[in-house]
Amino acid sequence: MKTTIILSMLLLPSMLWGQVINHFDNLDSKWNVAKTYPSANQQNPNFAATTTTVFGFQGDTIINDELWFKLYSTNDSLFHNDLLYRGLLREENNKVFYLDTLNQLDTLYDFSLNVGDSILFDLHGMYPEWLQVVSVDNIQINGDDYRRIKFAEPAFQAFDQLNEIWIEGIGSIHGPLFPNFPVTFSQEQPDSMLLICSFSNNQHIWQHPSYSDCYINIVLGTEQREVYDIKIYPNPFTNKIHIENNKMGRYELTILNGLGQTIKKTQISNDNQTIDLTDLEAGIYFLKIDNHLNTKTLKIVKRH
């Protein structure tokens, strides 16, 4: 009986979603969300900061015979430290249910919506408004078709924009929990919250076209630390990666797996370096680059 239950659960995502990888039904799923906002001071009157929050699952629980995944968030790019509990998520029949930290239950997503259907958005927690689905189409991600649902703009804000779009199996383009507390964004100053990368089923799924990195941290007081232009390509890779850096000098390169375990460590002194990673299994890895003055962590994906 136990074997039958486990096999049914493993087959369920593929039966429901086809080729679409359902982030809400994979415990290894991660969403990297970059928020850009004005952060000026007298010396930098036009400065805009960008910080990244990583959302992901850490364990599960059973409530009334239903399996729920525990959702956390952190500013740690490796998703190891300072994890903040955000509630529970469960997917069933193209819907994603959310049980928040106050045990309030809500339907977070319904990926079966069609044009003309409406969803109640409680904008800024103060302005509830029913917004219609204005278009439904498909977007290709890694060669697979994902259903894309676009909503109408709210009526009450003249110079702000919601720009809410859901991608089947991934969620809002503003982050996985955005429908629970939706906000509008100013069109007159730097103001955005965007899903820049997502990972699920040991694969890099979503990459925002405006971002080349999956983790952005630009804030006053630390921007001088990002003086080294490090490029890693190809990413995803098959056997080898090439690392280019702008006069960073000698540095230590550490390769970690998705659990944060060190796989390989080496000292590098060249501006350009090719690393052979043929022996690694397909999956998600992290490169930690440290020259004792600055540390940068980058995510890489090895293909089958």
> Quick one: which H or E segment has residue 31?
strand 30-38
pLDDT surpasses 70 at 122: yes
pLDDT at residue 293 in the model: 60
Contact between 79 and 61 under an 8 Å Cβ cutoff? The reply is no
Q: Is the dihedral of CA 69, 73, 74, 75 positive or negative?
A: positive
pLDDT surpasses 90 at 297: no
CATH 2.60.40.2550 fits 227-302, yes or no: yes
Q: Higher model confidence: residue 272 or residue 31?
A: 31
pLDDT at residue 205 in the model: 96
Separation of alpha carbons 71 and 98, rounded Å: 10
* Domain ranges, ordered by start, for the chain: 18-207, 227-302
Q: Which of 142, 203, 141, 144 minimizes the C-alpha distance to 173? A: 141
Q: Which residue carries 């109640």 as its tokens?
A: 120
Task: Give, in order, the Cα–Cα distances in Å from 72 to each of 98, 202, 207, 209, 225.
Answer: 13, 18, 21, 25, 28
pLDDT surpasses 60 at 25: yes
pLDDT surpasses 90 at 119: yes
Separation of alpha carbons 213 and 76, rounded Å: 15
For residue 164, give every residue at least 6 positions away whose Cβ sits within 8 Å of its Cβ, in sequence order, or none: 121, 131, 150, 151, 172, 173, 174, 178, 179, 182
What is the Cα 174 distance to its own chain's centre?
Answer: 9
pLDDT surpasses 60 at 11: no
Contact between 18 and 146 under an 8 Å Cβ cutoff? The reply is no
Q: Higher model confidence: residue 25 or residue 5?
A: 25
Q: Which residues pair with 130 in a beta bridge?
A: 120
Contact between 119 and 110 under an 8 Å Cβ cutoff? The reply is yes
pLDDT digits (tens, 9 = 90+) for 219-228: 765 434 444 5
